[in-house]
Structure 1
Amino acid sequence: MAKVCFGMIMSLDGFVNDRDGEMGKLYASFEPNEEINNMMARTGAVILGRRTFDLADADSYAVDYEFQVPLFVVTHHPPETHPNENDRLTITFVTDGVESAVQQAKEAAGEKDVLILGADVFRQALRAGLVEELQMAIAPILLGKGLRLFEELEELEIQLEKIRAIETREQVEIWYKVIQ
């Protein structure tokens, strides 16, 4: 059965983008590594929020997106024109909530994992108790302002168990199991 994971890079002070909504400064220190490559190989479907999906040209996903798997985009407003797809990457716009997106993504992923990308859709899935594992990369930067990943979760108290941690030349990556 597919495991639902969340992955994100954030600043040491907890921001996933800067004061201008940009993420480039966070990725300046990112280095692909064996653990990230293994995670990507284990991914059978990806769930994104609409804002995260819109960060790239919609038709570019079929050409050069690193995850060539079914994508499920949680949104209230699907685009008028459906983006390009290919034989591995399909795009489904899910308008009936994150729970539906997770169910559809698990079916599409089969035995592989489902990866959630995007702060808002992550918070929705976490509130609904659907996230089983977190992979957090900590970038060596203090942004001071921007979008905080763990904002608006005051009503939750969630225990985490560290699964593993790796250190690259510039950053630390930590994997946690969510204990509900």
Structure 2
Amino acid sequence: MAKVCFGMITSLDGFISDRHGKLDKLYKSFKPNDEINEVMANTGAVVMGRRTYDMTDDPDAYADDYEFQVPIFVLTHHPPAKHPKENDNLSITFVTDGIETAVRKAKAAAGERDVVVLGADVGQQALRANLVDELQIAIAPLLLGTGTRMFDHLEGLEIHLEKIRAIETDEQMEVYYKVNRQGTD
């Protein structure tokens, strides 16, 4: 069964975008090695929020050059009027009835491969709903000071983690944690 992984690149001070909502400063240092590429290749479906989906100027570009050529499930209150281009590997489904439905559909599409959850708000929703099996955090060598925090709006929620892997590249560190559900009570 698919494992659900909330994964993002963050600045050392915990921001996944700068104060203007841009990601380019964070991804400047992102240079995956063979080990990271292997983890990415095990992705069978992606769940993202509408804000993350809308970060591209052209939604049809997902079918042309998105790093994950897999089914994408976009959690939204309002699907776009025009459905974006798809291809043989990448389909886009807009889910309007909650994070649980989006993750359930993504797991069915992923089969034995992983479901990657992208976007701060959607990731936080998945954590609150106890749907995340693993955190995959790439730490960029940067302090942004302000922006969107990866772990905001989790008041009253205590999540215990177990480090299962760390990958070091020339520019950054990626740390993988198993979510310990027994420690969440």
Q: How does 1:61-72 map to 2 (within 5 A)?
A: 61-72=62-73
Q: What amino acid does structure 2 have at the position aligned with 1:92?
A: T
Q: In structure 1, the residue corresponding to 2:60 is in which secondary structure? A: helix
Q: What's the CA shift string for 1:129-152, capped at 9, x where partnerless?
A: 000001101111111111111111
Q: TM-score, normalised by structure 2?
A: 0.95
Match of 2:2 in 1: 2
Match of 2:142 in 1: 141
C-alpha separation in 2, matches of 1:122 and 1:35: 23
C-alpha separation in 1, matches of 2:53 and 2:39: 20
C-alpha separation in 1, matches of 2:14 and 2:90: 31
Q: In structure 2, the residue corresponding to 1:76 is in which secondary structure? A: coil
| 1:35 to partner: Cα distance | 2.2
Stretches of 4+ moved more than 3 A in 1?
A: none
Q: How does 1:23-62 map to 2 (within 5 A)?
A: 23-56=23-56, 57-62=58-63
Q: What amino acid does structure 2 have at the position aligned with 1:160?
A: L
Q: TM-score, normalised by structure 1?
A: 0.98
| 1:39 to partner: Cα distance | 1.5
Unaligned runs of 5+ in 2: none
CA-based RMSD of the aligned residues comes to 0.7
| 1:104 to partner: Cα distance | 0.3
Match of 2:11 in 1: 11
Asked if the contact 2:167/2:173 (under 8 Å) is kept, the reply is yes
Unaligned runs of 5+ in 1: none
Q: In structure 1, the residue corresponding to 2:132 is in which secondary structure? A: coil
Q: What amino acid does structure 1 have at the position aligned with 2:54?
A: D
The share of aligned pairs that are identical, in percent, is: 69
Q: In structure 1, the residue corresponding to 2:179 is in which secondary structure? A: strand
| 1:36 to partner: Cα distance | 1.8
Aligned residues: 180
Q: In structure 2, the residue corresponding to 1:58 is in which secondary structure? A: coil
